[in-house]
Amino acid sequence: MDGFSGMLEALAPEGVSLLLEQHRPGLLDGWCEKLLSQPLPRHSLWSEPARRLERIGGLAGWVPDHFPLFFFNERVLEETAAALSARRGQVRTETADRDRAAALLAELDIMHLGERSPYTLSQGETKLVWFLVQYAKAPRWLLLDHLPSGLSPAWQEKLIGFIRNRIMAADTPPVSWVLGALPGEEWYEPLLAAGNWRRITWESAQKILGDPG
Amino acid sequence: MNDRGLHFLTILLLGLSASLWAVMSAKLLIPLFWLLLLSGFVLRLHPAEFPRFLRRLVKIGVTLLFISLLQIIFRRQGTVLLQLRGFPLIFSTGLREAVLLWIRFLILFALAFIMARVSPFHFLLFSRKAGLSADFSLRLLTSLRLIPEIYQEARRGLWFLRFRGIRFGSLSLLDKILSLRQLLYGLLMRSMNTLFHTSLLLELRGYGRRGSGPIPLPYPLGPADYFCIILLLLGNAAAFRLYNLTY
């Protein structure tokens, strides 16, 4: 297990999800960005850091708020199916992947986006689609810096409902959710009631996460 | 020298002179002279960036070293300079061609380095002064600006491809090709988005609007430019004299 996964394991072991109380949005994103994306420009894309990224990519999903996203397929449905096939280590999708992708889109109530190009979506739609793509990878941890950012109250509710259902359904393999929240917010209350959560302030988490800086 | 650096015309004349003599002369002296002149320009114009210039050079130097070794091995003309147990290893022509290759490449590299540091706005001013239409100038500028952007996007795309969690080493050739196709699709879409936003920003700033002069600023030659142009003329004259003497 590498440093990134090791730190997450220490904070959110199997079966435990984490609520990070940040004093401002972007702290978790900043940590991920520094640890995951910045080391690469200094190294070749075929070097050990690149292979490490493959390993981390298989273990963790990340839904950033202000990080330009890159999609590889013409349609949202195909992009989600590709994430499902990536879980098996394959590039080509199968009918079962597309069916499962359609089911996931329907569960999040974004089936109407299935035939759209990911590059024509609004900010909120992009966030929902990217969330689903990351979830479809079946990661060990799924990190969201600030769930409500960029989403209307109705979509926030749908996304929270989706996560709640997934926790209640006891996903196999289990996902440890790592969600950032701001002081005074209450949107996460339905989630806390659903699973085994650990609440921790960003300052306390930093003692384990360190300063990638 | 003022804050804007040298005029683009001066840099263009420098580039034309250096590359012309580097191609024309098969002897070492003249290209070497232009290389030294260009190195002087790099040092004078961008002294702080000189270590970076050298670092980049070292990175590409390995490939160049391999090519020059091939030149030395396979160009078997001229006098034998080195032999091993009677077998001729290095010929004079091969060695000269290998050194010339290095000099020509270094000239190109130094020129690219100097030109890459001209601000896009000054390039735009120059193209307008050169009589190019505002539309064409802006298109040219947008295209030139897109090249490093595409490079960054390609790196970003590879990052995301890896973050999917697939082990690329274990993929079949067909799957690797498929991944490349997917990467190119993303690259195309993101580049289109960048172009769209750039053109929108240019329009919002009023560039290309009919009936209005989009670039009202003057762009005259400065004292440093006159000095450099005189230096270039003298350099060309000296190179011409040397060329006549050696051929």
Q: What is the pLDDT of residues A18-32, one digit of tens each?
A: 999 999 988 999 888
> Which one of A70, A116, A122 would you mutate to disrupt binding with B, by most B Cβ within 10 Å of its Cβ?
A70
Q: Nearest residue on chain A to B153, judged by CA atoms?
A: A70
Those of residues 3-62 in A touching chain B at CB distance below 8 A are 36-37, 40-41, 45, 50-51, 53-59, 62
pLDDT in tens, A106-154: 999 999 999 999 999 999 999 999 999 999 999 999 999 999 999 999 9
Cα of B4 to nearest chain A Cα, Å:
30
Tell me the pLDDT tens digit for each residue of B38-74. 888 888 887 887 888 788 778 778 888 888 888 888 8
Token couple for A36: 């995951």
d(CA B103, CA B28): 8
Residue in chain B closest to A83 (alpha carbons) equals: B164
**Which residues of chain B fall short of a pLDDT of 70?**
1-4, 208-216, 247
Residues B239/B34, Cβ–Cβ less than 8 Å = yes
Q: What is the pLDDT of residue B88?
A: 86
pTM exceeding 0.80? no
Contact A137 B171 (CB under 8 A): no
Looking up residue A88, the CATH number of its domain turns out to be 3.40.50.300
Answer whether B165 sits within 8 Å of A58, measured CB to CB. yes
Chain B: give the shortest CA distance to residue A85, in Å: 9
What is the C-alpha to C-alpha distance for residues B33 and B230, in angstroms, rounded to an integer? 16
The model's pLDDT over A144-185, given as tens digits with 9 standing for 90+, comes to 999 999 999 999 999 999 999 999 887 777 889 999 999 889
Interior/surface letters B39-49, b for 16+ CB within 10 angstroms, e for the rest: eebbeebeeee
Mean pLDDT across chain A, nearest whole number? 88
Is there a contact between A71 and B189 if contact means CB atoms under 8 Å apart? Answer: yes
Of residues B162, B175, B183, nearest to A54 (C-beta): B162
Distance CA A60, CA A175 (A): 9
Q: How many domains does chain A have?
A: 1
A with B: how many residue pairs have Cβ under 8 Å apart? 80
Is residue A182 within 8 A of residue A101, CB to CB? The reply is no
Strand B87-91 with B80-84, pairing: antiparallel
Range of the domain at A150: 3-209
